[in-house]
């Protein structure tokens, strides 16, 4: 195995005469194995080590063995990019630094493989089988689903901010401010069951309780008049 590893290193040196890589091959290392398969394995492992040390100033590649639980473990090790055994409190992490992407402090950006635990769990509620968007009795149901989707989708946050600015931060039902710690809902001026659309001009942002009153008492919703001081504050929020 040591001879196979050495022959692959010789081929790499011949192919890349400009590279200066320190290679330490423990020897003689032997094993009962298919020479062809071992050659393929070493070509991949040592080839990757050669590639990932290309930007390392003092590149080093090692091939050797270590005893573990009564067995012999064979390894190929390098000091290049591509793999780091630890990352914070995680072990055995595949990671690499990109010297062309730098943080403000000048350090290269470091990327690692994403784990499933990095992806937030989003529960999607199935729509009711009997729900019909053109049936008036499901109007509130669909507006609540739309509200939930807007709340969770950043792409539509500009629409919410536009509504909030147009209304001066005021609920059109109770004429009280709508704040971030309150529960709110979207109301359609022209109802969805009457072919109303989702354009900003057809939407109003209301307190959730006020929205229920609109449907239970059949109240008319109009555009509220904003106080001058509140409009200035909301304009600062939007970056204008």
What local confidence, expressed as pLDDT, does residue 76 receive?
92
What is the Cα–Cα distance from 147 to 149, expressed in whole angstroms? 5
**Band of residue 223 on the pLDDT scale cut at 50, 70, 90:** low
33-42, 57-66, 77-86, 227-236, range with the lowest pLDDT: 227-236
What is the Cα–Cα distance from 116 to 77, expressed in whole angstroms? 27
pLDDT tens per residue across span 12-71: 999 999 999 999 999 889 889 999 999 999 999 999 899 888 888 899 999 999 998 889
CB count in 10 Å sphere of residue 79: 15
Tokens of 206: 């209301």
Of 31-40, 83-92, 185-194, where does the model show the most confidence?
A: 31-40
Give the residue ranges of DSSP H helices in 84-169: 139-152, 157-166
pTM: 0.39
What CATH fold (topology level) applies to the domain 2-118? Answer: Heat Shock Protein 90 (3.30.565)
**Band of residue 224 on the pLDDT scale cut at 50, 70, 90:** low
Domain with CATH 3.30.565 in the chain: 2-118
What CATH fold (topology level) applies to the domain 136-238? Answer: DNA Binding (I), subunit A (1.10.30)
3-state secondary structure 72-89: EEEEEEECCCCCEEEECC
Q: What Å distances lie between residue 204 and 40, 94, 137, 200, 225, CA to CA?
A: 65, 48, 20, 8, 13
What is the Cα–Cα distance from 70 to 58, expressed in whole angstroms? 34
pLDDT tens per residue across span 113-154: 777 777 777 777 888 889 888 888 888 788 777 666 655 553
**Band of residue 101 on the pLDDT scale cut at 50, 70, 90:** confident
Residue 75 backbone dihedrals phi, psi, to 5 degrees: -140, 155
Residue 99 backbone dihedrals phi, psi, to 5 degrees: -65, -15
Domain with CATH 1.10.30 in the chain: 136-238
What local confidence, expressed as pLDDT, does residue 170 receive?
81
**Average pLDDT of span 234-238:** 40
Comparing CA positions, the residue from 231, 220, 214, 212 lying closest to residue 169 is 231
What local confidence, expressed as pLDDT, does residue 43 receive?
93
């Amino acid at each position: 195995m040591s001879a196979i590893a050495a022959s692959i290193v010789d081929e790499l040196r011949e192919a890349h005469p400009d590279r200066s890589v320190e290679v330490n091959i423990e020897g003689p290392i032997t094993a009962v194995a298919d020479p062809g398969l071992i050659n393929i394995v070493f070509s991949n492992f040592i080839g990757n080590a050669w590639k990932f040390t290309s930007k390392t100033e003092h590149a080093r590649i090692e091939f050797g063995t270590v005893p573990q639980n009564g067995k012999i473990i064979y390894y190929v090790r390098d000091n290049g990019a591509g793999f780091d055994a630890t990352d914070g409190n995680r072990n055995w992490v595949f990671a690499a630094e990109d010297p062309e992407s730098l943080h403000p402090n000048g350090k290269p950006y470091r990327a690692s493989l994403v784990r499933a635990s990095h992806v937030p769990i989003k529960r999607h509620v199935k729509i009711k089988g009997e729900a019909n968007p053109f049936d008036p009795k499901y109007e509130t149901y669909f507006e609540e689903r739309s509200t939930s989707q807007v709340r969770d989708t950043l792409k539509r946050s500009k629409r919410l901010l536009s509504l909030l600015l147009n209304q001066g931060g005021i609920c059109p039902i109770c004429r009280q401010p709508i704040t971030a710690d309150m529960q709110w809902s979207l109301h359609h001026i022209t109802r969805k069951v009457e072919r109303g659309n989702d354009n900003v001009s057809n939407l109003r942002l209301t307190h959730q309780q006020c929205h229920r009153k609109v449907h239970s008492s059949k109240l008319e919703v109009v555009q509220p008049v904003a106080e001058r001081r509140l409009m200035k504050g909301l304009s600062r929020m939007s970056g204008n």
